[in-house]
Amino acid sequence: MAAATMYIDAAAAGGGNGTTWAQAWNEAEFEADLEANAEAGDIYYVRGGTYTLDSAYDSGARDATAVAPIYIIGVNSGTTNEPPVLADWATADNRPLFACGTNNIGLGDYYKVFNLRLTGSGTSILSVAVNCVIYNCKSTNSRTASTSASSFSGSTSTFISCEGIGADSTHGYAFSSGRMIFCYAHDCNWGVDAASYGIYLFNIFDTATVGMSIVSDDIVTAFGNTIYNCVTAFSATDSYSFVGINNIVDTATDGFLWTTQNNINVYMYNHIGNSVTDMWDLVEETVVPHKDNWVTSGDPDFTNEAGGNFSLESTSPCINAGMAMQLGVG
């Protein structure tokens, strides 16, 4: 069959063919099609509303491809355009809400998921396989059971402008070999778990036991992240080829905590903020190169950190103090 465009509406009565808003599928029909018929190039437009799951989604057998991903795009509840235009894309609380309960949404390879909200208490609410892109999604995992649960999980995938919320023993994000850009992880156990082989740019990790837990894997680049009110900002065992530049750490017991330090790690231009008890636990106790050029300590002057606004006031010592990004070099 050829790739198709499908329409999903939480309030649909059911029995439609999914090809127009008037014939939109309901939640159960969406799940059935995703698991049995989804194919490379398909696009699912999901109208705003509450979608209550009675079972887990598993489209692991319905992989897409690099040139023809499968899209799942949340649009505003009143959307009538066929297909929807960019202005119909849902933001904030207009995004469709998938109330997962104890279920997970498991997707295969090469999915692109935009503009959804998800809640649940399962092991991982939105779990993607490999080479997926998750954009503008918010996932809240309220699980209290002490296991490695998370709001988002995946591998070799990219998370952009997503919000992951956990619980005392639940992580915001759990994945490896991924990219995490402009994301917000907060009120969780670890902001990100198993951050190996990954690139983490301009994210915020707020109120967690560990901001970024790099476990025992390698080659992680963390640039321009803000880690606030975490017991440990960066935690690793013996990870090597870690590059940490232009990160702001504020209010932490430990800044960079390596159980076994490796001398090919790079730490530059990171800002030591308020109330950081031991910024370089172990790092400062061993011979680690490239640890010069720190910005001096001080209040980074967030606009309203308690309210989740981590933009910098004009008085912030961090402005123009990090490593300069040069364009056109070489």
Partner 1 sequence: MNEKYSYKDFLQKTFIDTDSSEWNDSDVVGSCFAQETPNTKVFPDGIKGVTFTKCNLDNVLIPAECTMKDCTNKLIQVQKDGNDWILNPDLTPLEPVNKADYIKLGISTDPATLPVADTAEKPVTEITKEQLEANLQAQIKALEAAAYWR
Residues of this chain that interact with partner 1 (CB under 8 A) are 10-11, 27-28, 49-50, 52-56, 58, 60, 97, 99-104, 106, 119-124, 127, 129-130, 142-149, 153-156, 174, 176-177, 197
Q: How far is the CB of 30 from partner 1 (least distance, A)?
A: 13
How is residue 223 written in tokens? 């640039």
R_g of the chain computed on alpha carbons: 21
Name the strand (E) or helix (H) holding 223.
strand 221-223
Tell me 48's DSSP state. S
Q: How far is the CB of 52 from partner 1 (least distance, A)?
A: 5
Return the closest-CA partner of residue 284 out of 300, 270, 299. Answer: 270
Residue whose CB is less far from partner 1, 197 or 202: 197
Cis-peptide, bond into residue 69, ω within 30° of zero: no
Residue whose CB is less far from partner 1, 194 or 249: 194
Residue whose CB is less far from partner 1, 57 or 71: 57
Residue whose CB is less far from partner 1, 112 or 143: 143
Measure the CA–CA gap between 83 and 100, rounded to whole angstroms: 27
Return the closest-CA partner of residue 123 out of 111, 110, 139, 136. Answer: 139
Measure the CA–CA gap between 133 and 299, rounded to whole angstroms: 35
Measure the CA–CA gap between 276 and 176, rounded to whole angstroms: 27
Q: How far is the CB of 220 from partner 1 (least distance, A)?
A: 14
Residue whose CB is less far from partner 1, 180 or 295: 180
Tracing tokens 């490593």 back to the chain, one arrives at 323
Q: How far is the CB of 87 from partner 1 (least distance, A)?
A: 25
Measure the CA–CA gap between 205 and 265, rounded to whole angstroms: 21
Question: CB–CB of 258/232 below 8 Å?
Answer: no
Residue whose CB is less far from partner 1, 52 or 260: 52
Q: How far is the CB of 123 from partner 1 (least distance, A)?
A: 4
Q: How far is the CB of 229 from partner 1 (least distance, A)?
A: 24
Residue whose CB is less far from partner 1, 146 or 293: 146
Q: How far is the CB of 243 from partner 1 (least distance, A)?
A: 18
Question: CB–CB of 262/237 below 8 Å?
Answer: no
